[in-house]
Chains A and B, each alone.
Chain A
Amino acid sequence: MGGVLLDEPRLFPFVGQRKGSGMATLENTDLSPGEPAEDGVRRRDFINIAAVSFAGVGAVAAAIPLITQMSASADVRALASIEVDISAIQPGQAIKTMWRKQPVFIRNLTAHEIQEANAVPLSELRDPETLAQRTKEGHMNWLITLGVCTHLGCVPLGAGEGENRGPYGGYFCPCHGSAYDTAARIRKGPAPKNLFVPDYAFKSDTLVQIG
């Protein structure tokens, strides 16, 4: 065991020098206090930094499962898609259903509502999208959106029979007064975005898979 290993400032000035015997302890160090080795790097510094860094990497690795355990679990993720039978929804009617524990509005638009939505110039819209972009080709009368206001997450009114559909005839959020038009696009109020259109597909003319 060489003295080079331990050439750091002596913590124990009261302990005398004991050369060449036994363990490499501080008081067995031949070099004078604080003197660095020839290349200026002390071996003890390197060991110290390497060991503490490795422990740090280990701590981070151990933290990953402790953090990811709070993400959606497999049984929650398994609820990611649903199928809805839309055959009973008449033009002008809407239903609310649940997808990923959130409300989904499925509305069968009337010809008048489609016309009204298409008549709005995109330049007037806060979040410009046409009705065609928000529906599937050949199924433009089926408007499927999340029933979650893009402001702060309340459920807007308008899907149920007799509910207030707001000044633009679509949905109206009672929490902070966001008004959506017949294509569920934001027209007035604090919400920044149109009601979100989830991924969905028509399995047949009367069956929709959401998610």
Chain B
Amino acid sequence: MSFPWAAQYTPKHPLMRWIDEKLPLPRLVYNAVGGGYPVPRNLNYFWNFGVLAGAALAIQIITGVVLAMHYAANADIAFNSVEHIMRDVNSGWMIRYAHSTGASFFFIVVYLHIFRGLYYGSYKAPREMVWLLGVVIFLLMMATAFMGYVLPWGQMSFWGAQVITGFFSAIPLVGEPIREWLLGGFAPDNATLNRFFSLHYLLPFVIAGVIVLHIWALHIPGSNNPTGVDVKGPQDTVPFHPYYTAKDGFGLGVFLICFSLVLFFAPNALGHPDNYIQANPLSTPAHIVPEWYFWPFYAILRSFTVNFFWIPAKLWGVMAMFGSIALLFVLPWLDNSPVRSATYRPLYKKFFWLLVIDVLVLGLCGVKPVEEPWVRLSQFAAAYYFAHFLIILPIISWIERPLPLPGSISEAVLGGDAENVASSGQAA
């Protein structure tokens, strides 16, 4: 895709012309992230998080491939091989901490990326496919993160595997056989560890593939922007390079500083000490919680405490948890407002922030022990989460009166000068 005014790739050096004829890879790069991709000129720093998520994936793949050189996926020695990495392998401690901290940072930037998409309406037409692929990436990330967490074969690893595969046993009739099939036994053991390692190594490359589709789908309509107004002409865009390569480069520097601070000064802050105890199938840790990025979903899972309509509470919890993510797949069709950016949607903006608070409350409930007031609070918060998407959003998009939109991106950015800019653009 591109806008008609996108710069064309014109190699000058004979070697580059030769390559362009045989394998136009430099042309692809130029059109994707170079001067040939016109981007709205008004993107703010929230637009950095896509690139940062890509950087986080790269960190995970590089450190992960290195860790796999030293890790042994065998229930007898997995725990010790992780300690071997921490104590014996040259810089092993740093590479492992980079991988474990990197997982958290991957989720941090992806959550901010999703936040951006929700606030500025990036999920709406014509970018529904970008959004759908993004939700697929999110699901793959969660599966990968969970299986990676099992590999050190500590107490949290083992009981995490036990609990998460237990979700599948909630399915009526076939649940228990499915769980045994997933585990390769009646409880997590060597077979489970081996298949999780295999899939944990595979899925990041699947994620990388879906990211290619995600970007491909994005480049057909082009990037959204903080006003949500469509690009109308050349005066609304700047080329990706050097404008956004520089801006993303700056953002990457800030990201790496934050990452290094946690990696070198608080590498275990986001983990659980129990995972430094070797897996013991006879003893569950007193307080078992997942990693922080699963807390809101964990709270939704636990918020069902009684059977409704002959359906057991266990099945309700599992359905609600998966449903909370599945809802995101239909989001582009639940919100019918033609206005994208929350900046021009006063009513949506209020409820958007309520949703953010609601998800934070769910996260808090997810980490707290199963006792009052957290159980009741998580029930209300979970109910509100579903109400936001299924009831509030469709009603808002029906009754809301949006603020007047700017005529164009350049008008929003440059105010009254926009006409000068536009006319001189046409003159040239």
Interfacial residues, chain A to chain B (CB-CB below 8 A): 11-16, 18, 21, 27, 51, 55, 58, 64-66, 68-71, 73-76
Contacts and interface: CB of A to CB of B under 8 A. Distances in A.
Interface of B: 62-63, 66, 69-70, 84, 87-92, 94-95, 234-235, 238-239, 249, 256, 417, 420-421, 423-428
Given A14-B426, A16-B421, A73 B84 contact: yes
B92 A16 contact: no
A14 B234 contact: yes
Given A13-B428, A16-B421, A65-B90, A70 B249 contact: no
Contact of B89 (A14, A51, A69): A69
Given A65-B94, A73-B92, A11 B239 contact: yes
A65 B428 CA distance: 53
Which 4 A-B pairs rank lowest in CB-CB distance, beginning with the nearest?
A16-B424, A65-B91, A14-B428, A14-B425
B84 A75 contact: yes
Main secondary structure of the interface of B (DSSP, over half): helix
Given A14-B424, A15-B424, A16-B421, A68 B235 contact: no
B415 to A, nearest CB: 10
B235 A15 contact: yes
A21 B413 CA distance: 13
Given A11-B239, A66-B66, 7 more contacts: A14-B235, A14-B425, A27-B421, A69-B91, A70-B69, A71-B90, A73-B88
A108 B371 CA distance: 77
A75 B88 contact: yes
B90 A68 contact: yes
B95 A65 contact: yes
Given A69-B66, A69-B69, A69-B70, A15 B91 contact: no
Nearest to A68: B90
Could you say which of A51, A64, A73 has the most chain B C-beta atoms within 10 Å of its C-beta? A73
A15 B421 contact: yes
Nearest to A26: B238
Nearest to B428: A14
A155 to B, nearest CB: 27
Contacts of B90: 65, 68-69, 71, 73-74
